[in-house]
Structures are given as C-alpha cells and as structure tokens.
Amino acid sequence: MTICLMGAFSICNGQTLETISGKKEIVKKDTTKQMNLLDEQTKMFSQIFEMAGANDENPLAGATNYLEAIEQIDMTEEQKETIREQYKVYDLSLDPTKKDSLKIMVGKMLENAIEKTQTEIE
C-alpha cells in the first residue's frame, strides 16, 4: 500500500513540476507511410470469401488490393473513375511526405466537382 501511495505521489509531483518549469516535449513527426486499410480489408475479405467456399461467386476473387477490387465490381466507368480518384487521395493522405501532392489532387477534385455542378445547374 505504501508503494502505491509513493507511486501516486511521484506521478502527481512529476506533473506539477512539468507545468511549473514550462518545459515542452519535442514530438518527432512520423515520416513513414501508414498501412493502407482499404488494401488490407480487400485482402482479408477475399480470403474470407475463399474460405467460405465462394470460389466462383467470390466478388473479390484474386484481388490483392483495392484498385483490383474496383475493376471487378459491376458499375459504370465514370463511377469507377470517381472511386479511383478517392482511393488515390486516401493513399496520398497516408504518406506524410506527399502532402503537397495531396493538396493538388484535392484541389483538382474540388474544381471538377464545381464545374460539374455548374453544368448540371445550367
């Protein structure tokens, strides 16, 4: 019990000393690309359908990433292109070193959406 009390006091004491001294912690930025969850989900669901015995009816048969899964889906080419652009934006957002490319791509997507909306209104 004494050890627990000493641990609690030392934690509280450490917090007050940090605020009094005004020291700021330096946080290092992560420059590594994070895992692409869409690709990982595609792999996982493809394996689940395969294990369940849906070999011929597997909607994700043979897809190793999200872009391959998009190609296998039955939809119009315009819808597929929209999904591909959204995927590229998501993929760029995972890499902290490519923030400039992300800004450019999002800007282009916004411009295209504005133009499309304006043509539909007219």
Closest alpha carbon to 88 in 75, 72, 74, 101: 101
CB count within 10 Å of CB 61 equals 15
- The fraction of the chain above a pLDDT of 70, given in percent, is 70
Residues 6+ apart with CB under 8 A from 106: 89
Q: What is the pTM of this model?
A: 0.58
pLDDT band, residue 14 (cuts 50/70/90): very low
| Interval 6-25 mean pLDDT | 50
pLDDT at 86 over 50: yes
Q: Where are the domains of the chain?
A: 33-121
- Least confident span in 25-29, 48-52, 75-79, 105-109: 25-29
SS3 for 61?
Answer: coil
Q: CB burial class (10 A; 0-12, 13-18, 19+) of residue 63?
A: buried
